[in-house]
Amino acid sequence: MEWITSKAYVDYPHAVAEMEKRVAGIRAEAADEAVWLLQHPPLYTAGTSAKAHDLISPQFPVFESGRGGQYTYHGPGQRVAYVMLDLKKRQKQPDIKGYVWNLEEWIIRVLADFDIRGERRAGRVGIWVVTPEGESKIAAIGVRVRHWVTYHGVSINLNPDLNHFGGIVPCGLAEFGVTSFDKLGVQAEMHDLDASLQRHFNIFI
């Protein structure tokens, strides 16, 4: 199991190409499983369920993505964790729904380290927090699985420019907002978040 942290922003096509290579290596038992922690420059990605009318104002590059889900934003101040695991080795019965549940639980436990109560919502992907303005998403999930090897993963809003989400309908849910550690008044550094992500990764063991 390898943890990779990129200091510089990683272009989206490069990230996808690197994940594809790692997934092939894991399947061939020629590479270790990995979690890749990174930040992207400002961009939008379209998942396999994306609807054209949810792209309101493409002020940043838009990339088609093979992951599940709809439109999402990535950019500075957001921690992206790309998770590449062999579910056949990690689960008695390979189960994508169970894997997604573990991703959710991982994020919920991490948020709890910072006194943020993250919650699931039936019918809505991602992790949500209750704010005075209503429910807002703090973390997004979008996965792809090939031959039971996972890739893509999660993104957690530490202190991104939340205005940048305005160019899309995030995950197709126009009636809900987007929030971050910073907007909730929680001051934390990226390395604090990374340490918590590593500490709670035992949910997958």
What are the catalytic residues? Answer: 171
* Helical spans, DSSP H, in the chain: 12-27, 87-90, 96-113, 190-199
**Mutual orientation of helices 190-199 and 96-113 as an angle, nearest 10°?**
130
Dihedral sign for Cα atoms in the order 48, 95, 81, 145: negative
* Helical spans, DSSP H, in 40-95: 87-90
- Can you read off the two tokens belonging to residue 138? 């703090």
